[in-house]
Structure 1
Amino acid sequence: MPRYALKIEYHGAPFAGWQRQADQPSVQGAVEAALARLEPGEHRIAAAGRTDAGVHATGQVASFDLAKGWDPFRLSEALNYHLKPQPVAVVAAARVADDWHARFTAVERRYVFRLLMRRAPATHDAGLVWQVKQPLDVAPMREAAAHLIGKHDFTTFRSSICQAASPVKTLDEITIEEVAGFSGPELRFFLRARSFLHNQVRSIVGTLERVGAGAWAPGDVKTAREAADRASCGPVCPPQGLYLAGVGYPEDPFG
């Protein structure tokens, strides 16, 4: 059976997350239902990352097998037709090796978090950003973020229901950029690692926001990390500003 990879983007608001749910809409369920319109029967797809409810993606990757061979472009067009009107789109498709797997072949995940700083309620960006009403000081936030780069025990920044075998992860990048966003000044956080713990990105961003607001000193983040205690974490920020922006592989299946 030929195997395919898809690059998928979606707006996370209508879904209970990526993973298939018995009684709630999911992105996985939407894509599998579209596949069933092309080849009747049950389909099971694997994703590079299981995003939570409300989290978006611009570069999710999924893999699956089909009974017959499809031209990748025709496959993406057919899936997009059957995915309408849901806010899910296949932006690329590729034929991959039989042992290629969206999750296990991946060597890197990249997340972006958007934080809007303005008092007036967001309209055009509602549901797409985390909004705070006051400006944040980015310099101490960058200083604090430096304490999280590298290989560490991230128990403090790990959800209590995280199923990862170990809290030790290597965070390769945290970059914070100031952007003149469509709705006002934004901070955009770019995080890169081979893999992440459940709620790790939202825990980190929520904690760094406290530094930018002046409630925490940059060194407090190092102290919190070294405590290896979930109770030492700052607030976990809401999901709507978070995007799975890309997944890295030894060779890009989409060229």
Structure 2
Amino acid sequence: MHTRARYLVFFQYIGTKYSGAVKVPPHQLERKGIQDHLEDAIRRLKPLNPVSLFVSSRTDTGVHALSNSAHFDLQRKNNKLPFTEDTLVEALNFHLRTEQIRITRAHRVPDDFHARFHAQSRTYVYRIALGISHGSLLPLTDHNLCWNIRNTELDMGAMRKAAALLVGTHNFSSFRAVSSDLPFKNPVKTLDVADIQPGRSFSHTHFHRDIPIWELTFRSRSFLYRQVRRMTGALVAVGQGQLSVPQLKDILEAQDSLAYPQGLAAPAHGLFLTRVDYKDSDLKLSQQMSEEQFPSTGNSEDST
């Protein structure tokens, strides 16, 4: 009886203390990646098969996620039926309880499903707090969760004009990090959304003063390494008057990472991966499941 099951899981994390979303090389184990902790939690379920997690979206050190995703295979001992989706979420979260990582949902998916290659789009939101001279002036609910800028105002009209230039299909080589370890990746991307809207502090109604928050939203099927942070930094520079809209256009059209001004990229801690979207048809197997087909096998503490 074949009892191996493939699962797609969605998970969130505060990335401050982690070395990015993917696992780190053995010689860098002083700071683990999110993938390391997720694989450790899966191993605690004592599967028969070796544990190998495939993360859909790489996020850098210090970047957060409200919804990243990954897939993995799991085969239980003694021909036990696969975990139900709810039981799997509870079991993994039980073993992740000491970390700032949580599984939000799981789907049983076909054996040929791939979390990275089946993703239709990824959405990032960058949060900016204005008029903050020092990070200690932010409420704890926003500390390390936004980029605090001394300016009390940005030229949002100019920023939106600049953002509009980025929308569409372009060679984004100028917005790829110079130190990218993936130089072979196709630099031509289609940016579907580059939007700038007012946001809110996480403690808006309870803090002693109002903090202007702005959110920059970017959506594409995929991004280059540090592309979002470099686009954000350039747009903020336009808002501050350091760059003009034509200058940003020149940077884009240069198609050269060295054309991007040094020190302009936005810091990691304001960036959130907020969505990874898939076609409903790719998740059809999980929609056919029922509690009768895959009965619960116990609570999260003894689900091994």
TM-score (norm 1): 0.95
Counterpart secondary structure, 1:74 = helix
User: 1:79 aligned to 84, 89, 92, which one?
Assistant: 92
Which of the pair is proportionally richer in strand? 1
What is the number of residues matched between the two proteins? 255
User: 1:64 aligned to 59, 62, 72, which one?
Assistant: 72
Distance 1:141 1:244, change over 3 A: same
Structure 2 residue aligned with 1:138: 156
Cα shift at 1:52: 0.6
Counterpart secondary structure, 1:38 = coil
User: 2:276 aligned to 221, 242, 247, which one?
Assistant: 247
Instruction: Note if 1:116 corresponds to 2:133.
Output: no
8 Å CA contact 2:56, 2:119 repeated in 1: yes
Residue deviations 1:124-172 (CA, integer Å, cap 9, x gap): 2111111101121211000001111111111110012331422111111
From the CA coordinates, give the structure whose radius of gyration is larger: 2
User: 2:259 aligned to 232, 237, 247, which one?
Assistant: 232
Q: Any stretches of 5+ residues in structure 2 without a counterpart?
A: 77-81, 205-209, 288-304
Amino acid corresponding to residue 42 of structure 2 in structure 1: L
8 Å CA contact 2:64, 2:269 repeated in 1: yes
Counterpart secondary structure, 2:15 = coil
Mapped partners of 1:54, 1:73: distance in 2: 29
Counterpart secondary structure, 2:59 = coil
Structure 1 residue aligned with 2:110: 97
Structure 1 residue aligned with 2:39: 32
Deviates more, 1:226-235 or 1:66-75: 226-235
Mapped partners of 1:80, 1:248: distance in 2: 22
Counterpart secondary structure, 1:85 = coil
Residue deviations 1:86-134 (CA, integer Å, cap 9, x gap): 0000010111111111101111111111111122532321111111011
8 Å CA contact 2:47, 2:75 repeated in 1: no
Counterpart secondary structure, 2:16 = coil
Structure 2 residue aligned with 1:165: 185
Mapped partners of 1:202, 1:210: distance in 2: 12
Q: Any stretches of 5+ residues in structure 1 without a counterpart?
A: none
Deviates more, 1:114-123 or 1:11-20: 114-123
Amino acid corresponding to residue 169 of structure 1 in structure 2: K
Residue deviations 1:158-209 (CA, integer Å, cap 9, x gap): 0123314221111111000022433611110110001000000000000000
Amino acid corresponding to residue 175 of structure 1 in structure 2: D
Taking every aligned residue pair, what percent have the same amino acid on both sides? Answer: 36
TM-score (norm 2): 0.80
Mapped partners of 2:89, 2:211: distance in 1: 35
Cα shift at 1:19: 1.1
Distance 1:180 1:59, change over 3 A: closer
Mapped partners of 2:191, 2:124: distance in 1: 12
Runs of 4+ in 1 over 2 A off after TM superposition: 118-121, 179-183, 252-255
Deviates more, 1:116-125 or 1:173-182: 116-125
Deviates more, 1:121-130 or 1:94-103: 121-130
Cα shift at 1:244: 0.9
Amino acid corresponding to residue 144 of structure 2 in structure 1: G
Cα shift at 1:215: 1.3
Residue deviations 1:212-247 (CA, integer Å, cap 9, x gap): 111111121111101112232241110001111111
Amino acid corresponding to residue 69 of structure 2 in structure 1: V
